[in-house]
Structures are given as structure tokens and as C-alpha cells.
Amino acid sequence: MGSSAAGQEGHATIHHLTKKERNNIWSVIGASSAGTLIEWYDFYIFGSLATIIAAHYFPKGNAVVALLLTLATFATGFIVRPFGAIFFGRIGDLVGRKYTFLVTLLIMGASTALIGILPTYESIGIAAPLLLLFLRLLQGLALGGEYGGAATY
């Protein structure tokens, strides 16, 4: 059993692929990386704009409580990521990684767009922070599910 896995039959390395297949691999890596970068950028923006989000989506009167609620909403996106990985990992096993990857991208994109057009607390009251929390939960689930799909591609 002294032979390596690369030398065994049935194991391909990048050197055995055609130029077209290698280019396809790099395009998949690039697309997956770009998608993940954009999603992490969204998380970065939310954290960076926490004081502004607190002023618009939470009740006025106590800025510290509003900021803490905003940061708690921010944290929920990270807390639910493992659940997204479990849920979408199973879906990926059942119906395929590509389909699951596309679904998670769609969920992430839709929830991000909806956050962008979400009315403020002054417009819809308590529904604003509740909808914001729900959309952040969706983003966290989608990001947790997407990471595994992107990594396997």
C-alpha cells in the first residue's frame, strides 16, 4: 500500500484535464468565490452601519438599546449558519449541490434586496425590526447552506 492516491487509477489531477476542463474549473472557482465575497460584504456592511440601522429600524428613545438590538439582529445571521449548513447540506445530498447552491444564492439575494427596500420603524412600527430579524435569519441560513455548496464545486 505504498502508492499514493494520485497514482491510483480513477483519480484525476488537474494535469490530466483538458484545457477546456481546467478553464471550467477556474470559472467555477471564480464564480463561487465572487458570490461568497459579495455575501460576506453584505454582512460587513450591516455591521458597519449598525448605528444607522438602529436609528431607522428600532424605537427611538434609547440609542444604546436600539444599537444592542441591531447587533443582536446582526448576530442572528451568524447563529443560524450551522442550521443552514445542516438543512441545505441534506437538501444537497437529496437533490444535488448545484440546485441547492442556486437556491441559497436566490434566498440570499432576495433577502438582501428586501432589506434594502424595508420600510423604517416610523413607517410600519414594530413590523420593521421583526421583518429585519426575519430577513437576517434567512441570510444566515442561506450563507450557511451556500458555503458547503460553493466549497464542493
Mean pLDDT, residues 110-118: 94
Q: Per mean pLDDT, which range of 52-61, 67-76, 91-100 is the poorest?
A: 91-100
Mean pLDDT, residues 61-76: 95
Domains present along the chain, CATH in parentheses: 17-152 (1.20.1250.20)
User: Minimal CA–CA distance to 67: which of 47, 40, 44?
Assistant: 47
Burial 24-39 (b: 16+ CB within 10 A, else e): eeeeeeeebeebeeeb
The pTM score is 0.78
Burial 86-124 (b: 16+ CB within 10 A, else e): ebbbebbeeeebeebbebbbebbbebbeebeebeebeee
